[in-house]
Amino acid sequence: MDIKTMPNVHVLDHPLLLHKISQIRKVTTQTNEFRQLVKEIAVIEGLEAFRELPTKNVTIQTPLEETVEPVIEPDSLCFVPILRAGLGMVDGLLELIPGAHVGHIGMYRNEETHQPVEYFCKLPKNIADLDVYLIDPMLATGGSAIDAVEALRKRGVKKLHFLCIIAAPEGVEAFEEKYPDVPLYIGALDRQLNENAYICPGLGDAGDRIFGTIQ
Ligand code: PRP
Ligand code: URA
């Protein structure tokens, strides 16, 4: 099935988002600018993903009269970055919804097998009742995202979404096969993985570029 026709896969196309993704791809973009752009990209992706948020009507008082108006419920939301690179997107989302909860899942890919290894998981106690947005800039083989969804499902999470900046077709297909019910928001869909399971053209190692740990 063509990825762009998968019902729960949203490949975003806002020109400003595409422009900023082009900037983070550049090998010359340094850590400070990279980090700032990732945050701004998260804001734009958040605006797209949060279109689906439910609203409830509450009574408020304007300077002129009482009126019934829609509001969201920040307390019902949780952002869960996959460490490390997902951390780069948290502040952007919190700028949009400062009252959301934040949980953390730590995963790293074994460099030889490319399999994800979970090393940390700290989530709000009521995570099962929250609307969870799992975030990671890169969806490569899909292994980290799939394991993180599994970890959240195991803890009772029912409402789940995944936001990434760049995805490889291989990762989207693997994720969709496992979790076709989880909406996937993608900034850019790239060509393919290389032999080291890096996304091409991609941007390199997102965690290293956000945290300046490139050797
Ligand atoms: C990167 C990225 C994802 C993962 C994607 O993390 O941030 O978590 O790789 O690859 P996958 O889809 O093949 O699992 P990495 O393992 O480099 O860890 P880091 O963020 O700590 O650098
Ligand atoms: N993780 C990254 O940070 N980049 C890739 O291209 C693949 C996995």
Distance 28 CA to ligand 2 centre (A): 17
Pocket of ligand 2 (CB under 6 A): 85, 138, 140, 198-199, 202, 205-207
3-state secondary structure of 89: helix
Average pLDDT, the chain: 96
Q: Is 155 a catalytic residue?
A: no
Q: Which of 145, 139, 136, 140 is nearest to 196 (CA)?
A: 140
pTM of structure: 0.96
Q: Residue 69 is encoded by which pair of tokens?
A: 């108006």
pLDDT over threshold 80, residue 215: no
Residues 42, 36, 11: CA angle, nearest 5 degrees: 30
d(CA 157, CA 151): 9
pLDDT at 109 over 90: no
pLDDT of amino acid 181? 96
**Amino acid residing at 107:** M
Reply yes or no on whether the pLDDT at 76 is more than 80. Answer: yes
CB atoms within 10 A of CB 31: 14
Q: If you measure from the C-alpha of residue 144 to the centroid of ligand 1, how many angstroms do you get, rounded to a whole number?
A: 7
Which one from 55, 67, 113, 213 is the annotated catalytic residue? 113
